């Protein structure tokens, strides 16, 4: 029986979430999960041995962050500042910040400049979260006509089912969803993925208009529309953590 402990490691002055598993195993293994850095240790180690492995683990984590810059984005997120250029797909947006004496945050896009009108009363931590959602919403609306065209093209070509609505959401838990009423939801995180990967997720959700499960018949529909769909799934598994605002 395994036991899990949640804790944090300080990396470059910031807290990184960690899970330490004590389980029936012979060796020690460290890895990076989607949200946690994971350490697995044999549950029969003595206290001094555990301390030794935790020291090794802390040094290993520091070394990995020094070698792989993508880990910074993955665990610390992006911090936006006035004048930054946000690149999404083949589009660029210049960010212009205004801090106003108001309670809410708003944003609009004009001539490639994304204006963010932010409340100067918000905390720094919450402000960055609000900025990400504002960017997601505005950029999603900018891409929506193109994505809607591709949804219609694939639907007419392979499925011919009624699509009631298409919405973008800054969804962290999945890439898309589909209801039996014909409502398609796509994560704005997809906008950072290659076009053919986006097309796969569109096809995946459109296939759910016929099969609301992941049966063999469902995967046959996906395969008929995109024979190499497994390559796109693999891209999302490997690179999905880098796709976010």
pLDDT tens-digit readout, 56-69: 999 999 999 998 87
**Rounded to 10 degrees, what is the CA torsion of 166, 168, 169, 173?**
80
187, pLDDT greater than 90:
yes
- Given a cut of 80, whether residue 76 has pLDDT beyond it is no
Q: Is residue 1 over pLDDT 70?
A: no
C-alpha R_g of the chain: 22
Hey, where are the domains in the chain? 3-75, 86-242
CB distance 166 to 186 below 8 Å:
yes
**At 182, is the pLDDT very low, low, confident or very high (cuts 50, 70, 90)?**
very high
What is the Cα–Cα distance from 69 to 51, expressed in whole angstroms? 28
Closest alpha carbon to 21 in 60, 53, 62, 67? 53
The least confident of 77-86, 96-105, 161-170, 196-205 is 77-86
Residue that has been written with the tokens 């609505």 in this structure: 165
pLDDT digits (tens, 9 = 90+) for 105-134: 999 999 999 999 999 998 876 888 889 999
The residues facing 177 across adjacent strands are: 185
* Topology of the domain covering 86-242: Zincin-like (3.30.2010)
Burial of 18 (0-12, 13-18, 19+ CB in 10 A): buried
Q: Name the pTM for this structure.
A: 0.74
CA distance 190 to 170: 9
């Amino acid at each position: 029986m395994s036991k899990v402990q949640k804790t944090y490691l300080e990396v470059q002055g910031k807290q990184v979430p960690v899970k330490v598993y004590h389980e029936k195993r012979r060796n020690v293994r460290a890895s990076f999960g989607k949200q946690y850095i994971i350490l697995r240790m044999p549950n029969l180690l003595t206290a001094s041995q555990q301390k030794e492995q935790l020291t090794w683990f802390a040094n290993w984590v520091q070394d990995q962050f020094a070698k792989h810059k993508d880990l910074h984005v993955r665990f610390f997120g992006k911090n936006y500042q006035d004048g930054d250029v946000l690149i999404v797909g083949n589009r660029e947006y210049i960010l212009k910040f205004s801090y106003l004496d108001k309670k809410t945050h708003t944003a609009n896009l004009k001539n490639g400049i994304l204006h963010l009108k932010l409340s100067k009363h918000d905390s720094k931590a919450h402000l960055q979260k609000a900025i990400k959602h504002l960017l997601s919403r505005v950029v999603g609306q900018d891409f929506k006509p193109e994505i809607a065209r591709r949804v219609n093209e694939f639907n007419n070509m392979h499925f011919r089912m009624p699509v009631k609505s298409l919405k973008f959401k800054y969804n962290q838990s999945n890439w898309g969803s589909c209801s039996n009423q014909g409502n398609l939801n796509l994560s704005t995180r997809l906008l950072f993925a290659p076009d053919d990967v986006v097309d796969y997720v569109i096809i995946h959700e459109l296939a759910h208009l016929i099969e609301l499960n992941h049966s063999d018949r469902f995967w046959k529909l996906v395969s008929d529309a995109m024979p190499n769909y497994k390559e796109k799934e693999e891209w999302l598994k490997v690179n999905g953590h880098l796709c976010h605002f």
